[in-house]
Structure 1
């Protein structure tokens, strides 16, 4: 790793912010570059005071917002914070097109890495929960939204979406080092930040190697009432 790339991937600190709005309980994340004092927010929603307090405690300047997908519980504060801090908001081009999400600060991407807040952001497009869901790989941390939880994966509306989710999870399995820490959009039992290799202890969806079996299990009856569901 060259010195410039090392500078972009080292010195990254993550603070998980558990927030709620009605029946929704989400994880927002403050991703701080300890070297520069700049920060990114992942999927900020609802509790404005929680976000403001985290920025203040870290003495951080907000340099950008990363959205894993366009469901309301993941975008709620994006426009407000972007306007106040004068920072960009990123979402995948595919997600913006499929959802119609559009704000003045929006920037879209395909899968090219970019630098933000002095950190290297590597997006991974992971369709399934939504057509353009994305994960963000920053340093040794992967922010997975509603693609991959510690104990499960996000809801899929139909068999086509479940097939895409299977492919997305298989792709993550193929590319991620075991020591990468996983930060999902929702937590149920285990806390965010577990290593990817530890997820295999808790997450049955990582064990499938057949798409038909995966689809049948993901779309089994009763998911709308399951406490393991993604609420978005």
Structure 2
């Protein structure tokens, strides 16, 4: 059976949420599988290789590559060893590679053009702010947002310029992401991964600001408890 991933009637990729942890750090990793070809992608793999390997085996998937939203250790931890094990590429934005110095034998640094990973079409959306080269990935009707957008908030911004960039990135998502798109953030706080963007828009205060200055003032507001920077209740 021939499968055209650009056909709007083609089956949507299947997303498996892999909840992994190391000490106090908890991440969402994602396995994305084409249900027809079994081509698979991993997003931000970290901490628990057995969990990831078991999910890939259960899916019967052939790993076509690893997508990294940004270069923080909890998002790249297993990228190199899994790339070597499966002899597949690792993708990270060229801007993030330059800013972080991340290296891998099969690293592909990209700009903004979509590409095919087997039968899966990957569309990167450059969304700087949390880091200089943060990227969200759109695959079918799914958007993987790393530490840019959570269901209830957005990622930490280190300074004023980064907060301005984050505001612009969130505005880009608001302008370009369809309401029915499923959102898969890098971390879970209150609501589970896979909410529609319409639902995230309703619940997320950080998507309500109308200008960069007020957004930045709130994101960088003084008195935030460092232990609760991601407590959006």
Q: Same fold (TM over 0.5)?
A: yes
Give, in angstroms, the shift of residue 201 of structure 1. Answer: 2.3
Q: Which runs of 5+ in 1 are unaligned?
A: none
- What's the CA shift string for 1:143-172, capped at 9, x where partnerless? 000000000000000000000000000010
- What's the CA shift string for 1:51-73, capped at 9, x where partnerless? 01100111111110000000000
- Matching residue of 1:31: 32
- Matching residue of 1:46: 47
Contact 2:154 2:206 in 1 (8 A): yes
Give the Cα–Cα distance (whole angstroms) in 1 for the partners of residues 210 and 110 of structure 2.
30
Deviates more, 1:54-63 or 1:69-78: 54-63
Contact 2:89 2:108 in 1 (8 A): yes
Contact 2:5 2:119 in 1 (8 A): no
Is 1:225 the counterpart of 2:209 in the alignment? Answer: no
Give the Cα–Cα distance (whole angstroms) in 2 for the partners of residues 157 and 150 of structure 1.
20
Give the Cα–Cα distance (whole angstroms) in 2 for the partners of residues 91 and 175 of structure 1.
21
Distance 1:110 1:189, change over 3 A: same
Q: Which runs of 5+ in 2 are unaligned?
A: none
- Matching residue of 1:215: 216
Give, in angstroms, the shift of residue 35 of structure 1. Answer: 0.8
Give, in angstroms, the shift of residue 136 of structure 1. Answer: 0.2
**Is the partner of 2:148 in helix, strand or coil?**
coil
Contact 2:13 2:35 in 1 (8 A): yes
Give the Cα–Cα distance (whole angstroms) in 1 for the partners of residues 60 and 122 of structure 2.
21
Contact 2:30 2:43 in 1 (8 A): yes
Aligned alpha-carbon RMSD (Å): 1.6
- Matching residue of 1:80: 81
Give, in angstroms, the shift of residue 186 of structure 1. Answer: 0.3
- Matching residue of 1:70: 71
**Is the partner of 1:135 in helix, strand or coil?**
strand
Task: Tell me the TM-score normalised to structure 1 length.
Answer: 0.95
Task: Tell me the TM-score normalised to structure 2 length.
Answer: 0.94
**Is the partner of 2:151 in helix, strand or coil?**
coil
The ranges of structure 1 where at least 4 consecutive aligned residues each deviate by more than 6 angstroms after the TM superposition are none
**Is the partner of 2:37 in helix, strand or coil?**
coil
Give, in angstroms, the shift of residue 227 of structure 1. Answer: 5.2
- Matching residue of 2:183: 182
Contact 1:28 1:42 in 2 (8 A): yes
Give the Cα–Cα distance (whole angstroms) in 2 for the partners of residues 59 and 4 of structure 1.
19
Is 1:18 the counterpart of 2:4 in the alignment? Answer: no
Give, in angstroms, the shift of residue 9 of structure 1. Answer: 6.3
- Matching residue of 1:159: 160
